[in-house]
Amino acid sequence: MQFTAEKNALIARHGGETLRIEGWGKDSLRVRAVMYDAWTGNDWALTEAPEQTDCRIQIGTVAYPAGDGGTEVQPCAEIENGRIRATVNFAGVISFYRDGQLILREYYRFYGGTISRSSRCLKIVNREWKGIIGGSDWQLTVKFDPNDGEKIYGMGQYQQPHLNLKGNMIELAQRNSQISVPFMVSSLGYGFLWNNPAVGSVCFANNYTEWIARSTRQMDYWITAADGPKEILKNYTDVTGRAPMFPESLMGLWQCKLRYRTQDEVLEVARRYQQEGIHIDQIVIDFFHWTVQGDWKFDRTYWPDPKAMVDELHRMGIRVIVSVWPSVDRRSENFGPMMERGLLIRTERGAAQTYDYQGDCVEIDPFNPEARRYIWEKCRENYADLGIDGFWLDNSEPDYGVYDYDHYRYSAGPALSCSNMYPQMFSRAFFEPMRERGKETPVNLLRCGWAGSQKYGNVIWSGDIPSTFESFREQVQAGLNMGLAGIPWWTTDIGGFMTDDVNDPDFQQLLIRWYQFAVYSAVLRMHGDRGPYNIPPLDERDWGGGYLHTGQPNELWSYGEENYRIMRKYYDVRIAMHDYIRDLYREASETGAPLIRTMFFEFPEDEKCWELQDQYMFGGRYLVAPVMHLNEFERDVYLPRGKWKNVSTGETVDGGRTVRVSAPIDVIPVFEKA
């Protein structure tokens, strides 16, 4: 192992690999490696100029026991940036220390000497580069030793019941309702970003942690040390960016359903809300308002004068957002020009098709700047110039017909090497030109994101999830982990997306419990595909805005008087919290703090809070305990030390204990910190 030093960077070379460790922001290090000096120049999620650092670098030697009973002198080196220090030994194994205490070490079971001498015959190295036959990329595997008792959080959104990800195998890939944001927060006081958009996996096992990138040219990760999750997240968003300030005009109710089929239906709903004295901040026009996928325009049969519709909605103080998919049907007027100019995803084998829902489609390649310009110009002409305020960038993973990532290729390279950045690049096709037009903070709705997506005006929702209490519980932990991964603007379909029967009392109970949760989250948004499907289509064509089915009504009054009363009650709660919610959004834009927070985010010194996943903090003031089981009308709530006021009863109680609280259907247990 040969060591050299540059300003704020330690360089190590061995066996064709070049390793570079350098200061990258406060108490943080960036670690990169390549084979044969083939540096890519990609910063990926690390888009923000890091805080100036002055690292201490030391290169020396250390004596190790030799096989003959003597000693053997070998080179070693270390680099220190504030509270974090990394050492590299003669085999290239990196160990990380926070304030002098070991927090993370690469896993190595190959070399003799003091490093796992009894395991040297296993021949397992810390960084394994396995060449992809016939290509210039590598499959990269990086292993770390486990830390007993460590808890791991963040990483984005996965449809599973675990908030603590220790022991979990996680796919690093984007799917409908799965969002890979590869940043983790450790209970040991560090944060770790796998700064690589390649498809792969990570396993936080008890015997070792293993990160895999299936196709890459460069290892790249970033690690920071801090006292607790607030400081970790601040350091992380210092170098990846923060959400802009959310517009105050969108902090109330968003109204949506699958699907408003005509402009008359939209206006009828908006007028009814106005008559009811309920202000909706934004109304959402869902998919298949268009002719065919990829035309990106209203079907004028059912939307004859969209500008007049938008103007009337604006007079009511309602913004308008429309659904835009990246899929382009072969019947679309844009398919030929985009295919000819290489603006669509390429397939590696067979016919060109990436998506097959309601048409034979190929999706756009947003890694190509010309493709981003093309779709924006179409949407500017057909939507933005009519006054449309924002875009619902659905299917933004993208939603492949089959998730065979090795079958697809973008202008940036094989999908295996970069596909996790697809949703971010898709969002930038809209955010950047909207901002250039002088738009107040552009806010677009997406079904997916990646590390750093918070910078691009993304409200990310949890995807097409079932309407069950099990799914509801999973969304709560998903939202908390998304916040710890740096994504503060997160929401769900209230009541879940897929409902068989809106008249089912069990579903209506779920809807109310979910709605109450949504009131105490970043975005309050009504949406869902509501059965039964007994509403006939508007026409018999197999294309256009009239042929596809629609769901049952999904407005606040659609579920009977008692449910309407409860939702109206909590709508008023939401509006009353406007100034508080505005302050939370400001905090997110200034520090990266999420709006919904794990209990340990606010109380890191309380060991009990690191175990809780069925309650959370809405900002620093409100402790929220959603009711997440059918026919549950009371529940236990843990209160950290201090005084807490039960919002529904006004009673103040002492914390430091678990209390049993009543939760009738019209009450979500909420405690205000005194």
Three-state DSSP class for 411? Answer: coil
Three-state DSSP class for 504? Answer: coil
The 3-state secondary structure of 38-76 reads CCCCCCCCCCCCCCCCCCEEEEEEEEEECCCCCEEEEEE
* Phi-psi domain of 600 (left: phi exceeds 0; alpha: psi -120 through 50; beta: other): alpha
Helical ranges in 577-631 per DSSP H? 578-591, 599-602
Query: For the chain, how long is the longest CA-to-CA vector?
Result: 90
Of 545, 568, 547, 571, nearest in space to 285 by CA = 545
Residue 325 DSSP one-character state: -
**List 295, 365, 399, 464, catalytic entry:** 464
CA angle 204, 208, 213 (to 5 degrees): 65
Cβ–Cβ < 8 Å for 588, 567:
no
Please report the DSSP string for 196-226 in residue order. --SSEEEEE-SS-EEEEEEEES-EEEEEEE-
**List 299, 394, 474, 602, catalytic entry:** 394
Phi, psi (deg, nearest 5) at residue 435:
-65, -40
Report the distance separating Cα 441 and Cα 464, nearest Å.
27
Please report the DSSP string for 474-497 in residue order. HHHHHHHHHHHTT---EE--TT-S
Cβ–Cβ < 8 Å for 372, 425:
yes
Which tokens in the block code for residue 374? Answer: 């093309």
Q: Is 397 a catalytic residue?
A: yes
Report the distance separating Cα 478 and Cα 608, nearest Å.
20
Does residue 398 have a cis bond before it (omega within 30 degrees)? yes
Three-state DSSP class for 144? Answer: strand
Report the distance separating Cα 674 and Cα 669, nearest Å.
16
Report the distance separating Cα 320 and Cα 383, nearest Å.
10
Kind of pairing, strands 498-499 and 529-530?
parallel
Cβ–Cβ < 8 Å for 110, 148:
no
Q: Is 394 a catalytic residue?
A: yes
Report the distance separating Cα 502 and Cα 494, nearest Å.
13
Q: How far is CA 451 from the centre of its chain?
A: 7
Torsion of CA 443, 446, 450, 453, to 10 degrees: 0
Three-state DSSP class for 596? Answer: strand
Of 366, 296, 303, nearest in space to 335 by CA = 296
Which tokens in the block code for residue 644? Answer: 């807490």
**List 365, 397, 474, 493, catalytic entry:** 397
Side-chain half-sphere CA neighbours of 199 within 13 A: 19
Residue 113 DSSP one-character state: T
Catalogue the active-site residues. Answer: 394, 397, 464
